[in-house]
Structure 1
């Protein structure tokens, strides 16, 4: 099974405290997820984010196919990063690192995802579709965050432009 990698960067025109508060509230996942995935958060959002937290939601990654997805928050370093790993869901492996750092006029948000696809050879055939779907999800997230916080403007005092860069790599 191949290990795939997806990464994204986005600049937000908000303080690191505001970014942390928003990004660590699992209830905001629905706002950041394309409506066609029909995400429903079911469990685990009663408290702020903490190591050991389990979050359960359901998604519809394919037409007529809904699945539950349980993620485990394995690491949290306040105002710097958190890591979620899939315990159960549509991927064979899912490891997602979320980083934030202060930049002039806002916050840089970085995501690094490592994932493996299920179903062996069939999963490998579906890899281009999954890669495209992840890119679309992160493009949606970029526009949702611009709509929510406005655009980041270089060297502006906490103002806004969500400059997203994305890349995919296959790790052998």
Structure 2
């Protein structure tokens, strides 16, 4: 690799290595097929820079289901979300995800043939994140995501780091 080439995948891995796990929440995802919601789990992590800016990473994991119709419906839900994410601007984002919202970026998306799990990860960037994570997630982010996905979220189980450790 020449000196002038930037390895974006390596840079992303290095950046993600410094995220702090914050919590988990179960969810039910309506696939729009009239059946029961598809259950999954969402991981919440944050990365706060020294100046207080940063991002929240939400990682969704859902059993892919061998039924082709359900797999297609599951993929379609997150495809619609990816289109929403691309169109979200500061005004619509702040209304849905809280003050200080800058932008939304889908990091990983989709379901490949043969995958047992659908794994979707996206980041929500904020101008002022430090000390606001729980309030943003509970009061803005989850209520803002619920109709867009569409999903019903269980209460967040917050990760409490070991004070001695």
Q: After TM superposition, is the score higher than 0.5?
A: no
Determine which structure has greater relative contact order: mean sequence separation of CA pairs < 8 Å that are 6+ residues apart, divided by chain length: 1
After TM superposition, the score normalised by the length of structure 1 is: 0.40
Structure with a larger share of its residues in strand:
1
After TM superposition, the score normalised by the length of structure 2 is: 0.41
Structure with a larger share of its residues in helix:
2
